[in-house]
Amino acid sequence: MNDFKQFKKVALDAVAKAETIILKYFQNLPHIETKIDNTPVTQADQEAEAVIIDTIKKAFPSHGFMGEEFGSDNEKAEFTWIIDPIDGTKNFIHGLEFFGTILGLKYQNKIVMGISNMPVAGELLYASKTEPTTLNGKRAYVSKIPDLESAFVNFNPSKFDNPKMVNIAKAISARSLNMRGFGDVYGYHLVATGRSDVFFEIGPKAWDVSAFQIIIPQAGGKYSDFEGNTLGLGGTSLATNGLLHEEMLRIIKTS
């Protein structure tokens, strides 16, 4: 495998360039469009993804890309970068800090590097196959809460039109009084840094979760879909401190 140090250097540079663009438009959006799936997209989304692709492609021309805004390019390449330029676009549009850029590197069908940057919140998570998870350069760890009764559980409230999501939330709320709806990128940040113990959601796409498939485990936690598969890219997502993972899977299965 190629040098991870070079991958890291280029990826962080790409994310930094995207941050400059995003902050330029934060609370100063000239135009908002609606995509076919009825989700919003802004000029900031498009420009940020474009600069990430351009920066990485110049350094690694043989690499492939899968992005939320511009689709796939050379996706069957040995290395594929999966990009969500602004996860939490609705928060971004409303001037809230709970959004971020997500970048994952896939090799042999596994995510081997991940970056998640929340520029306004000032949080940059990084992890790779060869390095543990860090928050702004300092080692990050999941929590050590062993029981659901004491756990701080988060979920993505935007999918509450899904009966399965409602049933899971009801089952957990019967056990834990500490449930909140911090969704999107922020939900994963909370788990990776030990500020929350569980985050789950239905309906994420590959670019929504790619980086967290390595950021969460390298922080000491566990990541999987609702079936317990660790290699899935989207559909359903469960991130925990590890100690609560099997219990959460049981609740999900029976809800």
Q: Which of 179, 207, 187 is nearest to 70 (CA)?
A: 207
Are residues 178 and 104 part of one domain?
A: no
**pLDDT for residue 233:** 72
Q: What is the pLDDT averaged over residues 118-123?
A: 98
Are residues 170 and 91 part of one domain?
A: no
CATH assignment of the domain containing 217 = 3.40.190.80
CATH assignment of the domain containing 73 = 3.30.540.10
Top-confidence range, 40-44, 86-90, 125-129? 125-129
Q: Which of 182, 196, 191, 195 is nearest to 212 (CA)?
A: 191
- 184 neighbors 156 (Cβ within 8 angstroms): yes
Q: Which two tokens stand for residue 191?
A: 């788990």
Letter for the amino acid at 169? Answer: A
Q: Which two tokens stand for residue 41?
A: 């997209």
Are residues 152 and 95 part of one domain?
A: no
Are residues 179 and 116 part of one domain?
A: no
Are residues 95 and 172 part of one domain?
A: no
pLDDT at 72 over 60: yes
pLDDT at 85 over 80: yes
Domain count, the chain: 2
Are residues 103 and 52 part of one domain?
A: yes
Are residues 185 and 66 part of one domain?
A: no
Q: For residue 118, what are the β-bridge partners?
A: 123
For the stretch 203-218, pLDDT in tens is 999 999 999 999 999 9
pLDDT at 32 over 90: no
CA angle 58, 64, 69 (to 5 degrees): 95
Are residues 205 and 238 part of one domain?
A: yes
- 211 neighbors 116 (Cβ within 8 angstroms): yes
- 126 neighbors 115 (Cβ within 8 angstroms): yes
Instruction: Please indicate whether residue 123 or residue 29 has the higher confidence score (pLDDT).
Output: 123
- CA 193 to chain CA centroid, Å, is 13
pLDDT at 1 over 70: no
Q: Which domain range does residue 175 map to?
A: 148-254
Per-residue burial over 165-194, b = 16 or more CB atoms within 10 Å of its CB, e = otherwise:
beebbebbeeebebeeebbbbbbbbbbbbb
Q: Which of 13, 29, 27 is nearest to 101 (CA)?
A: 13
Q: For residue 123, what are the β-bridge partners?
A: 118
Q: What is the pLDDT averaged over residues 230-247?
A: 91
